[in-house]
A = this chain, B = another copy of it.
Amino acid sequence: MSYPQDRLCLTPVHLDWAGLRDAYRRVRSTTADLVAPLTPEDAQVQSMPDASPTKWHLAHTTWFFETFVLVPSAPGYNRFDDRFAYLFNSYYEAAGPRHDRKARGLVTRPGLDEIFAYRAHVDTAMMALLEQGGAHADEMARLIELGLHHEQQHQELILMDIKHAFAGNPIEPSYAPPIADNGASPRKQGRAVEWVSFAGGLKQIGHAGSAFAFDNEGPRHKVWLEPFQLADRLVTCGEYLEFMADGAYQRPDLWLSEGWATVQASQWRAPLYWREETSGWTTFTLCGRRLVDREEPVVHVSFYEADAFARWANARLPTEAEWETAAEALAVSSSGLRLHPRPASNEAGLRQMTGEVWAWTASAYLAYPGFAAASGAVGEYNGKFMSNQMVLRGSACVTPEGHARATYRNFFPPASRWAFSGLRLAR
């Protein structure tokens, strides 16, 4: 199965040139900051076909600007290395042939230093272009803005992928030092969920207006919703431990048929990265392995596990329309790239809609009514992944600041667990 690593589209431009320059500098340097703790060896490793080496992410996001901005729009631009087009294209058929995705880990050369030199070469040319503007400026600005959102997606993938790689090393290196305290204030322990009610009716969902969005977020369209309730917070590890204690992974009646087959074939008995030790269940985080905190939201569960949990809890997962309707009125939490989700606060009302873990929904990832793919290479694959994937909503602690919004549609295959994916109940 080929899993998409990014999902691009062409959208209206929303930034003036100065804003675009600032954004370019900020996003590009954030990527470099994320990679700072990694060694050349770390940046080389591909731990499974769905993941990519850090080095590949660094180069691919750079290739995007080179291919779609500099080569067509920067007069006299010289490619850094002609072979990179083949090495660092992800799946853009229109941009030419490309290296086998599973074999990205074999590309030991160019090395990490050379990739940083590539980034510097492209950044120099990009900054020159951003200073001068030039022909087709609107089109170019739209592509640059798109490239920045694209790079933000890869920032999250860098953290997902390196976490997976480190977890595969018996000595389990840490990406960052341990977190001293993961919650802002003392919390009521094991506080029960409260349900927030929504009236339903004929609603509109999907992106509209002038702010940036990926094309799969539109067009905005009407949906009919029956009245529904959402849990005021995400499902916690404590609740998930109760589910496990009640035989979760031994009871076929709780699972979708394919979910149960996956449980057996993959011998799942807990979320990804969990391990039972004499001291209790532990989990591997980007800050090292530690005891599972019952108050934190459960993370790294598949859609199948989320669905089974909801069935066990006599509830269900929300649809994406329900989630978006509930989220529309809320401000997006600014996470600023934390490395692990936090417990819910003690406040009342709908919390943790963004910034902690992505929430699996009951919705398959399909085109909205009236959806049409953008033209050209960047729009080539917009709807390409609309089969056998489920939608996740919200955002995670590892999602870059400014990347989340109420209409954002993330998606993964139902058995996938290496994203920062959790769940919120509905009924």
Q: Which A residues lie at the B interface, using CB under 8 A? A: 1-2, 4, 39-45, 47, 55, 83, 86-87, 91, 93-94, 99, 103, 105-112, 165-166, 168-171, 173, 202, 221-224, 226, 252-253, 256-259, 261, 303-304, 307, 319, 362-364, 366-367, 369-370, 380-381, 383-388, 390, 414
Smallest beta-carbon distance A174→chain B, Å: 10
In the assembled complex, 22 residue pairs joining A and B whose CB atoms fall closer than 8 Å, in A order, are A42-B108, A86-B170, A91-B257, A106-B169, A107-B169, A107-B171, A108-B165, A221-B224, A221-B226, A224-B224, A226-B369, A253-B380, A256-B384, A257-B384, A257-B385, A258-B385, A258-B388, A304-B387, A362-B366, A362-B367, A363-B366, A387-B414
Nearest residue (CB) in B for A370 is: B226
Smallest beta-carbon distance A268→chain B, Å: 16
Known: A2-B258, A257-B384. 20 other contacts (CB 8 A): A39-B108, A40-B111, A41-B41, A41-B109, A41-B111, A42-B108, A44-B44, A87-B171, A106-B168, A107-B169, A107-B170, A109-B171, A202-B202, A226-B369, A256-B387, A257-B387, A319-B369, A362-B366, A387-B414, A388-B388
Q: How many angstroms between the C-alpha atoms of A39 and B115 in the bound complex?
A: 14
Does B47 contact A45, Cβ atoms closer than 8 Å? no
Does B257 contact A44, Cβ atoms closer than 8 Å? no
Smallest beta-carbon distance A376→chain B, Å: 12
- B residues near A91, Cβ cutoff 8 Å: 257
- B residues near A385, Cβ cutoff 8 Å: 256-258
CB contact between A40 and one of B39, B171, B366, B387 (< 8 Å): that residue: B39
Q: How many angstroms between the C-alpha atoms of A370 and B226 in the bound complex?
A: 9
Q: How many angstroms between the C-alpha atoms of A223 and B200 in the bound complex?
A: 12
Nearest residue (CB) in B for A93 is: B252
Does B103 contact A168, Cβ atoms closer than 8 Å? yes
Contacts A105-B105, A202-B202: A41 and B256 contacting too (C-beta < 8 A)?
A: no
Q: How many angstroms between the C-alpha atoms of A390 and B364 in the bound complex?
A: 10
Does B1 contact A253, Cβ atoms closer than 8 Å? no
Q: How many angstroms between the C-alpha atoms of A387 and B308 in the bound complex?
A: 12
Closest 6 CB pairs of A and B: A364-B364, A106-B168, A41-B108, A40-B40, A222-B224, A41-B44
Nearest residue (CB) in B for A94 is: B253
Contacts A93-B252, A366-B363: A387 and B173 contacting too (C-beta < 8 A)?
A: no
Q: How many angstroms between the C-alpha atoms of A331 and B289 in the bound complex?
A: 58
Nearest residue (CB) in B for A97 is: B170
Q: How many angstroms between the C-alpha atoms of A256 and B388 in the bound complex?
A: 10
Contacts A364-B364, A366-B363: A108 and B171 contacting too (C-beta < 8 A)?
A: no
Smallest beta-carbon distance A137→chain B, Å: 29
- B residues near A256, Cβ cutoff 8 Å: 383-387
Smallest beta-carbon distance A299→chain B, Å: 21
Nearest residue (CB) in B for A414 is: B387
CB contact between A39 and one of B111, B252, B253 (< 8 Å): that residue: B111
Q: How many angstroms between the C-alpha atoms of A224 and B106 in the bound complex?
A: 49
Does B42 contact A45, Cβ atoms closer than 8 Å? no
- B residues near A222, Cβ cutoff 8 Å: 224, 226
Q: How many angstroms between the C-alpha atoms of A307 and B388 in the bound complex?
A: 14
- B residues near A202, Cβ cutoff 8 Å: 202, 224
- B residues near A166, Cβ cutoff 8 Å: 108
Nearest residue (CB) in B for A259 is: B387
- B residues near A107, Cβ cutoff 8 Å: 169-171
Smallest beta-carbon distance A197→chain B, Å: 16
Smallest beta-carbon distance A220→chain B, Å: 12
Nearest residue (CB) in B for A168 is: B106
- B residues near A369, Cβ cutoff 8 Å: 226, 319
Smallest beta-carbon distance A84→chain B, Å: 9
Q: How many angstroms between the C-alpha atoms of A86 and B172 in the bound complex?
A: 13
- B residues near A86, Cβ cutoff 8 Å: 170
Nearest residue (CB) in B for A221 is: B226
Smallest beta-carbon distance A48→chain B, Å: 10
- B residues near A362, Cβ cutoff 8 Å: 366-367
